[in-house]
A and B are shown apart, each in its own frame.
Chain A
């Protein structure tokens, strides 16, 4: 059903049911798109605008981790249409037959993407995924901490005992340790990984805890002075409190591009593609980036960003810092297993 016939039929229906507003409400037969996204990752106006323009309803819900999302859609009959996995999950989701192939002609706005994201490693032809926004892991700190941290190694400082947290995520913690040692975050070399594990175990007595987003208000209150944190989360905390700063460690850091994908189970493939294309519009992408306080992959959107947002160095770091970032990749099964074991050992150390 195209948009015009849809509008006509919905008009007809609303005139038939017009006599009773309640009935009209109860039998809303507009197609419904079910979207499952990270929290704080979209502009509040985006969904209502899409609903108005395409004459549909949207069920929008949020999650806090890739694992949470994956667990929900794993059954292949969850009812969700569009989800937002991080790059390294695209391959596993594809291998588990969860993804629908994208129809390129339905996505003319793909040209708006930054060329760096037109042929990403995890999906070179963008057959299954459309890059959305990019986050990275760095160090958030309370400005009471003088001098402020500049490197991962600063999170090993004995004077901060009990005032440091790391993310509760194996890839992030190992990544920081690997970077501290000057290795790649995606390393599959057992010797590197063992060395990184020793670093993590050595750091553990200094740690208050392994925490994700919950650490934010402990940073604000000063319970925690320095924390490994995603830049998006840090940005949101910085907006709420001037006490917090954020730095990209000089040894390098992990970069996580998040993607939009359509699930194979989706019964509204066409509408879902329209949604993806809608999200790729420069002004929509810009509004989303501003609301989420995250760097967008949409090059055309940059022109729509407010000046002070574009100058924000946490979001748009200068070239030398940008060059320190390394994209997260899907790990091979053997490495994944070794890393999982090392992580268990770190946790039970």
Chain B
């Protein structure tokens, strides 16, 4: 008995430690420290590369973080811009490409200020070395805001040097020269290509950044246009790009079976039988580290082909010791939360004004909202190719956080981080899943234990059953409307989960400043946390993806109870523009502008007839302001048709219009797909869903039309991988209410009988 208690404690410590790591990853992703004011070290010329030309080295991202990691470092450039004598412009891209389009957006910013000919721009992927390259990760929609100014200055610096070189060649003042599409031109009509000037420019001093003039937004020729992805040609012709496409000499194909309930350990397995199967070369138990972010206990099988490994995995018979395994049950959580929702929460996160007095004098609306756990389900199942030899390991992996993986893998193997080499591959979908590198740790450890290079391939079932899920949750709301129909009191009891008994799990926390709390005089936000063992993590627009559904739906309930027009009501709650607004905070003026634009473009207020309605919602996240209006028809059998979703967003100036629109359209489709039919239900610690037949991602016939409008304000540009997703679910739920009078208080919609 005593033993079992100790084991439970150990496992819980491991789960809590893993959750702390996931928290730290998310925090690093969302850090607002940026390179904006940190360009003091400027640019360096590089010499001595083959073929000659002009090469500038500079630093992207957060120099302060680098300085904190290694006190007073030398200037270590982490990005390179090179103009070869044939006119080719090459830049080194340091961040992972996960479908967010960064590998195209970064060079566009440089090319703009350089006045380069886009057709001559090439992009190369940088090696993984955070000592040199600083942050090398993709998440939190932070890549653009962190690197915007420095990329522009890089282009402008090179341009100034090329202009100086041409002016010297012609013996004319630089002020008489202009640039266009890879040429310097003189007012007399003479012109020279950048390639012709590159060698001469390389002999000139690097100009002081203070002397540079950056372009006015109205003069942009590349930024804001539609540029197709730099890797698209490889994608459409099927060339090897992804983690799963990697092949190394002598590698064996590995699979890894873990306990379906997290925390379980291998008691015994039919290893001898498995080793006899055709194509199987080895099978063994991996004890692991017990941390879901690293390696959980399981059985590894190695084989001569993926199929031999998959086939053998099906024949595995493992007896699990589940004494320390998760017993989590979604149906029990729901029942508990429904009881808890009847009272105030255990902790008070925020209390403003006098909620009790305000509610006593007003018309009261109460509602209880539920949303489920969901899985990331990127289409490329987790995989990593690993070669461990003589105390060092080399990995090829589709990851969002290659920089953090160096230390993580080193720790698991018990080697120094310098002994870990990571090759960055294209990533077949991120959505936050690949911020965690558990599959990379597994591959490394299996290679070490087996003594051969391996390609670890998860099956789809592995992927769906061993995720860091978007945590489910509950909101018990109480709101008060005064005689004039104004919202005067707001209470939210947020019921979430905890792994360590202290703080909510990653993605399950809520800010005390969450809209509309700061906007209102009398508010109370309380919280209760239920214990949870299933690992959770950031899922596209963490927290916001669920909070927006609950908050924006309940606001619409309040305006309906007040018999107010929801557009007018939402703008009233948003309130007047206040003070100077820093990036990363809700700006009521920007919010009101996108809300009005979405409403106008969607024809807000028009009569649509029976069974059809418009729904409006707004959410601010990842520094982006987004309002969306859904136009929805619901028939008497609860069949839903999304006629259109109109999106208005403000992310500052748009870098790549094609990429940005693609992200927004994808966010709307992802949001609808998830709210309609996706849930991960948990019973006895086991995920009930195993593959796409039970986790029905949206398909093309039901993908809504999405109309995208950007307000290109003069604020600095911010990311667009995430902020368009949160308003989708409440906009559609509000439209269903407008069409039918039925309020959806629990997701996914299919639980209420809705279907497409």
Q: Do A and B come from the same complex? A: no
Interface residues of chain A, those whose CB is within 8 Å of chain B, are: none
Interface residues of chain B, those whose CB is within 8 Å of chain A, are: none
